[in-house]
A and B are shown apart, each in its own frame.
Chain A
Amino acid sequence: MASIKDIQEEIIDEFSMFDDWMQRYEYMIELGKSLPLIDDQYKTDDNLIKGCQSKVWVHAELEDDKLVFTADSDAIITKGIIAILIRAFSNQKPQDIIDADTEFIDEIGLKEHLSPTRANGLVSMIKQLKLYAVAYQTQLK
């Protein structure tokens, strides 16, 4: 199983092939479309991260000692970024998720989506992924 860092490097490599924002966004939109959907039973208000504009649902489940995330959004670009985050963070040990950084988002040219003042709920989403990790880490102990 690849580490979070390895996967992030892989994603950076993929994005380095693109020359301009159009290609990056087209790729992200493709990723968004292929994001495995969250099971409908988990698309609840409890799992909803309220950004100002697009909705984001995240669900976490522990499988053995690893945390598996599923998520969805009503906006496709948001979904693309979620797909990237989930690829990096899902199926990893809670402690590794807690320790991981998200600088790779800058490196693939999507920094603007992670500004805390941008109303898309993504900063809250990363926070939520980490909170799940903290909660399950406590449970594992």
Chain B
Amino acid sequence: MNPIRKNRLILAGVIVVGVGIAAALALVALSENINLFYSPSQVVAGEAPRDHTFRLGGLVEEGSVSRDPDSLVVQFGVTDGAESMIIYHRGILPDLFREGQGIVAQGRIGDDGRFMADEVLAKHDENYMPPEVEHALETARSLGVTDQKTER
């Protein structure tokens, strides 16, 4: 084999192997870091994973926010109109968090069965509804839940 071909072959081989490894690592990392979204109804029905973080979203229930007097622990209920879930969080809630607002929380269900959120997301626009939450509300609505107090 002439040296130019040989060089090219080595280069091409290194690139193919390198990109292959990178792609494999990326896919592994991707599969480990995907967070599925669940509505309160789905979580109550037991569809959410017990051993993995996921996203839970809905409207914050009126009058459900309560704080621990000595720490930053806060709890509040989210609903999709059909079912509701209590979310626990230690930390500072975002500026736009308020009752009646659509939020998405990311966290996991602990051994005590409580959903502990690492992160609570509310969007930076008054009129903005997270698409996941909107979808969850619509699903609950289409399943025959009529007593809604949701407003957009």
Decide whether A and B assemble into one complex. no
B residues near A (Cβ < 8 Å) are none
Residues of A within 8 A of B (CB): none
